[in-house]
Amino acid sequence: MYISVGEHYIHKNFMHRAGLPAWIYKASEYAIEVYQAHGVRHHTQWYREFDYEPDDCGRQENISIPMKETALMLVAASPLWGPIFWVSTFGGCIFLLTAILHNRFWTLLHSQMHMPKNVFFKDWAAFRFLARNHFMHHQNMSGNFNVTFPFADYLFATHTQPRQADIREMLRLGYIQPRSSHGQKLVEKWREATAMHRNQLA
């Protein structure tokens, strides 16, 4: 839950807003690049279709979290989690391990959402739930800031509701299952038409 709140705060304030003092952005190109790569390019230039980006460069940009960025985030946030070691060394080690696993888990899920592959968890209800949550973030960037564990989205009331068009698209993506065999056939035809269109563009 602690990491969920941290992910929500960082995603909302530093990746979708230039939330640091202006002098930091003047002094550090990296700080402004984090905002531009995610809030500007990943959301408005690339991935206009949630599961498809035709540009080779854009397809990979801002999909994974490099370990060096995890290290920087942990160092920057150390005043918040460092005191855990004063209470329990074991607890502090568990927190650091959880933070690193969160980094890898985030990258795994985010990659599968935007660049779907035939992985073993693609049909799991838990993955479809998280994919729906992140899909809605791409439809409304003022909500659904959690990718791996959306506890904080519910805590801070930033969980968004889908519109009819969103539901239709999530059906095509497979994140919502049709309730009838007729609906399943319609969705399959829709997916085939989408695949043919993308092949023509390629």
User: How many angstroms separate the CA atoms of 141 and 155, rounded?
Assistant: 17
User: pTM of the entire structure?
Assistant: 0.88
Q: What is the C-alpha to C-alpha distance for residues 183 and 103, in angstroms, rounded to an integer?
A: 37
Tokens coding 196: 């043919």
Token couple for 155: 């805590």
Nearest to 62 by CA among 83, 40, 82, 77: 40
Tell me the CA distances in angstroms from 21 to 18, 28, 31, 129, one per residue in order. Answer: 8, 11, 11, 36
- The single-letter DSSP state of residue 83 is T
What's the rounded Cα separation, in Å, for the pair 8 and 10? Answer: 6
**Consecutive sets of 10 residues in the chain, 202 residues long: mean pLDDT of each?**
90 90 87 92 94 93 90 86 92 92 94 96 96 97 96 96 94 88 74 74 64
State residue 197's pLDDT score: 67
Distance between CA atoms of 46 and 188, rounded to whole angstroms?
26
